[in-house]
Structure 1
Amino acid sequence: MQKKSLPTENNDALECAVAAIAAAMADPSRVKMLCALMDGRAWTATELSAAADVAPSTASGHLARLVEGKLIVCLSQGRHRYYRLAGHDVAELVEQIMGLSWNRIMPPETTAPKTMREARTCYDHLAGTIAVQIYDFMLAENWLEPDGSALTVLGREQFLKLGIALNTHSRRKACCACLDWSERRFHMGGEAGAALLIFLETKGWIQRVAGYREVVVTPVGKSAIHQHFSR
């Protein structure tokens, strides 16, 4: 049976939408801002101008382009204005592009601090060496589909057994494989990745460093993660 093609106007709309997103990201300073916002917090224009190493007046223009491209949103609170990523889908897009970009160049010696490489947040899920090890364990134990796109029945059972709450009515991806920019391997994102981060933090196995993406694995956490997520 011959597949029906999309109406020309739909094709045009899609092409324009893709081009608009690409144009909004097509500047190193704007990319730096998006990467800074990957810690999941809302930032002021002043903070983002410092992160991108540009003048406040220049930052204002970049932020306007990102808002126009629907990659970030502006929140007003009293006299202050804050910017944050527009949603989980944008965070996943930035993470995937970061991973794809690393694959296009010769692997450099990373300048990331050892603590950042070990554990950090990636928007609302865990990244770094620890996260990659957990992902590898889940794959080996058949908790995840081979491509990391979903939890298996066994995986859902194991999450329930551990007490990791999953939102079955979430509109976002249930699970996805995110390419870790420091390890060049996958860690777990999506709803399952976010639920895992909340679980680890609630148990006191990890602690966030206020104002930074860095995450500290507590002594109790190291023992517990080894117990539950290693073969």
Structure 2
Amino acid sequence: MKEGPDIAYIATLIGDPARANMLTALMSGKALTVSELAQEAGVTIQTASAHLSKLDTAGLLRPRKQGRHKYFSLSNDDVAHVLEGLMGLAAGAGHLRKRTGPKDAALREARVCYNHLAGDMGTQMFDSLTAQGHVVLDNERPMLTASGAAFVADFDIDLDALRRARAPLCRECLDWSERRSHLAGSLGRAFLNRFEALSWARRDQNSRAVLFSREGAEAFRRLFPLKITL
């Protein structure tokens, strides 16, 4: 018998079309009910419950009960990281489920990837942070530098609190639409939260799109310029 992690088991769970649609819907970072996930998957509530039970047993979901409703979210960043990677692999191989529509441009410009910023603006932020020397790759892993720590503090992000948390501070996530990296980890989440707190951006309630105001987009591009002047 072969030893090691059973990737076939997890791959089979994710590979089912209905379950894949449910997991993709949860990439918005919002917890959804069984009925909402059933609608996303195009199945009955009974069928959705069976699918969710399998995903929960496998440790891919975090169920929570509030009042009469039971909500589901992705269990952790690792699940979101795998899903985003699979989306990039599928898009790169030309396996797209539908033609692009009006929402596609907004999703490609800026969207939420579970709890951090993705899309064109997400990759721009990552590229700018590395170009400014705030983030460096150490053995292919992003690390915050001393200048990066000062940059984060100047942006009113509590870096000490992030470092005390169990989640990795910086993590590289392959962006499915840009095919380049964006910033995940607790710092990626903190940046997105800060953009929302400053009213630079808001999350679209009907999709994963992150909508920047004109003033917010201008402030973002000043903070994360594409061309760095030394």
Q: Deviations over 1:16-63 (max 9, x none)?
A: 4x4442332231211111110011111111111111112222212211
Contact 2:85 2:176 in 1 (8 A): no
Indicate if the aligned counterparts of 2:196 and 2:202 stay in contact, CA closer than 8 A: yes
User: What TM-score results when the alignment is normalised by the length of structure 2?
Assistant: 0.86
Deviations 1:40-95 (A, max 9, x none): 11111111111111222221221111011110122111211111111222222222
Change (3 A) 1:110 1:144: farther
**Alpha-carbon distance in 2 for matches of 1:122, 1:19:** 25
Q: Report SS of the residue matched to 1:183.
A: coil
Aligned equivalent of 1:129: 120
Which structure dedicates a bigger proportion of its chain to strand? Answer: 2
Distance 1:75 1:122 in 2: 21
Are residues 1:15 and 2:8 paired?
Answer: no
Alignment of 1:97 onto 2:90: no
Match of 1:73 in 2: 62
Counterpart-to-counterpart distance in 1, 2:155 and 2:217: 16
Structure 1 partner of 2:174? 179
Q: Which residue of 2 aligns with 1:59?
A: 48
Give the whole-Å Cα distance in 2 for the aligned partners of 1:45 and 1:107. Answer: 28
Structure-2 change in CA distance of 1:61 and 1:152 (3 Å): same
Equivalent residue runs for 1:161-180 within 5 Å: 161-166=154-159, 167-180=162-175
Separation in structure 1 between the aligned mates of residue 131 and residue 100 of structure 2, nearest angstrom: 28
* Conserved? CA contact 1:110–1:182, under 8 Å: no
Cα gap change, 1:83/1:107 in structure 2, threshold over 3 Å: closer, same or farther?
closer
SS of 1:121's partner is strand
Measure the CA separation in 2 of the matches of 1:114 and 1:15.
38
- Out of 194, 209, 225, the residue aligned to residue 214 of structure 1 is 209
Root mean square deviation, CA, Å:
2.1
Question: Residues of 1 paired with 2:148 and 2:218: CA distance?
Answer: 21
The yes-or-no answer on 1:152 pairing with 2:145 is yes
TM-score, scaled to structure 1:
0.86
User: Residue in 2 aligned with 1:47?
Assistant: 36
Matched to 2:135, the amino acid is L
Matched, 1:205 2:196: no
Unaligned runs of 5+ in 1: 1-7
Other structure's SS at 2:143 match:
coil
Q: Residue 125 of structure 1: CA displacement?
A: 0.5
Aligned-residue identity in percent: 37
Cα distance between partner residues in 1 of 2:185 and 2:89: 18
User: In structure 1, what residue type is equivalent to 2:128?
Assistant: F
Q: What whole-Å deviation, never above 9, does each CA across 1:131-176 have from its counterpart, x for those lacking one? A: 1111111111121123452222221221112222231112122111
